[in-house]
Homo-oligomer: A and B are copies of this chain.
Amino acid sequence: MIPKNNVNPDCLNNRDELHESCGVFGIYSNDDIDAVRLTYYGLYALQHRGQQSCGIAVSQDGHITGHKGIGLVPEVFTEKVLDRLEGRITVGHTRYSTTGGASMEDCQPLIIRYKEGQLAIAHNGNLINASKIRLDFENRGAIFQTSTDSEVIANLISRFGLKYKNFEEVLIETTKNLLGSYAVVIMTKKKLAGIRDPWGLRPLSIGKIDNSYILTSETCALDTIGAEFVRDVEPGEIVIIEEGILKSIKTNQKKPHSLCIFEHIYFARPDSFIDGASIYQSRLEAGKLLAIQHPVEADLVAGVPDSGITAAIGFARQSKIPYGEVLIKNRYVGRTFIQPNQKIREESINIKLNTLKKEVEGKRIVIIDDSIVRGTTTKKIVRMLKEAGAKEVHVRISSPPVKFPCYFGIDIATKEYLIAANNSVEEIKEIIGADSIGFLSVENLLKCPIGAPKDSFCTACLTGKYPMKVPSGLDETLEDK
C-alpha cells in the first residue's frame, strides 16, 4: 500500500517522520493448535510494522471468513471475536499507522470471491505499477473498491485463474506482472501461499510448530508463538503449503537481491533476523562504525529512545566513551491522546520526552539516532539537551542522509520534506543546532548486516540507485492519491 505523508501521533516512537511498512502473517496448521489465537499473538509481535488497522482471515467450515478493523491488535480483537473464528488456515495483517485516513475499506486481509472460489490476501510493500494495472483493468471494465495493492493482485490472480488451472501457474503468472516490492501471504480454503518479490525488497520468513507452517514478515513473531525458524522465503520464490506439504517454486525472475536497508536501520524489530542477519547486531555494528567514521571527544554517549539506543551502545563500545541515558520517554501513548492546543505554550511543553538533567549538565554529549528525515525531532532534542545544560551536543546518525524518495513502501514520497535532500550536512548541523554532526556512510552501512548476502540491499533513498526502473511521473501519481 501507499503510505501517505501524515504525522502519526500514536507511534510509540518519538520520531514522527518515517512510517512503517505493514506486517503479514499466515498459518497452515497440521496439528491441534489454535491457529487463530496464534495468529493474534503473531500479529501482536508484528504490531510495530503497522498500528493503523489489522485483520485475520480464516478458512472455516468451507468458507473464508474473518474480522478486521481500525486499531491495534488488542483493540480490534476481543475474546468474543476470537471465539467466533476457528480454522486451520489463517492470514493476518497489520497496517501502518497514520492520522485520520484510517479507512475500513483498506483494512486487510482482503477477502474476495472469484471463479475458483475464495481468496484472502495480505500484502506488505508497494507495487509501482499498481496504477497501470488498475488502469488496464478499468479499461476492461473492472471496478475497484479499495486503494490497496492486494486488490490489484487479487484481480490478476482471478484473471490468470481463467487461463491456468493450476494455482502454482496462476501465482507465477501473477508475479510476472508485479513490479515493485511485495511480501504477500495468500490463502484459499485449502492452501496457504507466500510470495516474495524478485528483489526481496520486503522480508518474509518460514517457521514451524511441530508439523504446522507459519509465514511471517519477521522472525520475532515466530519466537513469540514458540515456533522455530525454518528459513527465509527467497527473493522471487513462491511457497505453497497444501495437504500439509510445503512446496517451493523458484520463478525465473530473480533479480539482484535488494532488501530494503531501512528494515535494518529502523523498521524491523531488533530481535528479528532477515536473510541471515540479526537486526540487533546490525544496529550495534552501525554504532561501532559510526564511532570510527565520525569520532568525537565527549563525556557521554546516549541514544534517542528507542530508535537510537542500540547504535549508541555500539558507538560507546567502540569509542570507549561511557554509555548512558539522557532522555526519558513517556510510554503511555494511545490513539486518543489529546495534543496540546495553542493556548498551551507548545515550545515549553515536552509531553513525551524529558531530559535527565543530572546526566546532561556540563557534559559533552554524543546523541545517536538511527536516521534523520525531516529533522524537526532532532532539532528539538538538541535544544532540550542544551537547555538541560549540555556543554556540547554532537549528533551522530547511524545511517546516511535520506535524499531520495522511496517507491517501495517507505513514507518518503516527496523530496521537499527531506532535510538532507535540500541541505548539505553542514547546513543540517546549523539547522538542528548541534555542535557537530556525522552520518554513517553508505559503504559502512552495508557492512553492518553481518551474515546477509553481500550487496543484497536496496539503498535507493540514500543513493538514488533504484533496483528497478521507476516509471516517470510516479511522484505525481503518488500525490494524486
A334 vs B72: C-alpha distance in the bound complex, in angstroms? 9
Q: Which residues of B contact A145 (CB under 8 A)?
A: 110-113, 145
Q: A residues 105-129 with Cβ under 8 Å of B?
A: 105, 110-115, 119
Contact A313 B328 (CB under 8 A): no
Q: Which residues of B contact A151 (CB under 8 A)?
A: 143
The residue in chain B whose Cβ has the minimal distance to the Cβ of A78 is B336
Of A256-264, A354-362, A416-424, the one touching chain B: A354-362
Contact A338 B114 (CB under 8 A): no
A154 vs B143: C-alpha distance in the bound complex, in angstroms? 7
Q: A residues 82-133 with Cβ under 8 Å of B?
A: 82, 104-105, 110-115, 119
Q: A residues 53-77 with Cβ under 8 Å of B?
A: 68, 72-75, 77
Contact B271 A354 (CB under 8 A): yes
Contact B113 A144 (CB under 8 A): yes
Contact B356 A270 (CB under 8 A): yes
Q: Which residues of B contact A158 (CB under 8 A)?
A: 138, 141-143
**Which single member of B139, B316, B338 contacts A323 (CB below 8 Å)?**
B316
A47 located at the interface, meaning its Cβ lies under 8 Å from any Cβ of chain B in the complex:
yes
Contact B280 A37 (CB under 8 A): no
Q: Which residues of B contact A41 (CB under 8 A)?
A: 340, 344, 349, 351
Contact A144 B114 (CB under 8 A): yes
A252 located at the interface, meaning its Cβ lies under 8 Å from any Cβ of chain B in the complex:
no
Of A190-198, A223-231, A394-402, the one touching chain B: A223-231
Q: Chain B CB within 10 Å — which of A155, A161, A340 has the most?
A: A340
The residue in chain B whose Cβ has the minimal distance to the Cβ of A281 is B358
A349 vs B33: C-alpha distance in the bound complex, in angstroms? 13
Chain A residue total in the interface (Cβ 8 A): 90
Q: Which residues of B contact A313 (CB under 8 A)?
A: 323-325
A154-B143, A354-B224 given; A34·B341 CB < 8 A: yes
Residue interface bits A369-398, CB-to-B below 8 A is 1, else 0: 000000000000000000000000000000
Q: A residues 313-355 with Cβ under 8 Å of B?
A: 313, 316-317, 322-325, 328, 330-334, 336-338, 340-341, 343-345, 348-351, 354-355
A281-B358, A322-B317, A325-B310 given; A349·B226 CB < 8 A: yes
A333 vs B344: C-alpha distance in the bound complex, in angstroms? 29
A189 located at the interface, meaning its Cβ lies under 8 Å from any Cβ of chain B in the complex:
no
Contact B12 A51 (CB under 8 A): no
Could you list 25 examples of A-B contacts with CB < 8 Å?
A: A37-B341, A38-B344, A41-B349, A72-B334, A74-B334, A77-B338, A78-B336, A105-B111, A111-B145, A113-B144, A114-B138, A114-B142, A114-B144, A139-B162, A140-B162, A143-B155, A220-B354, A224-B350, A225-B344, A225-B349, A226-B345, A280-B328, A310-B325, A313-B324, A334-B334
Seen from chain A, the residues whose Cβ lies within 8 Å of a Cβ on chain B are: 12, 33-34, 37-38, 40-41, 44-45, 47-48, 51, 68, 72-75, 77-79, 82, 104-105, 110-115, 119, 138-145, 151, 154-155, 158-159, 161-162, 220, 223-226, 269-271, 278, 280-281, 284, 309-310, 313, 316-317, 322-325, 328, 330-334, 336-338, 340-341, 343-345, 348-351, 354-359
Besides A225-B344, A284-B324, 17 more A-B contacts (Cβ < 8 Å) are A34-B343, A34-B344, A37-B340, A38-B344, A78-B338, A104-B104, A110-B145, A114-B141, A114-B143, A115-B141, A220-B354, A224-B351, A278-B356, A280-B356, A309-B325, A313-B323, A323-B323
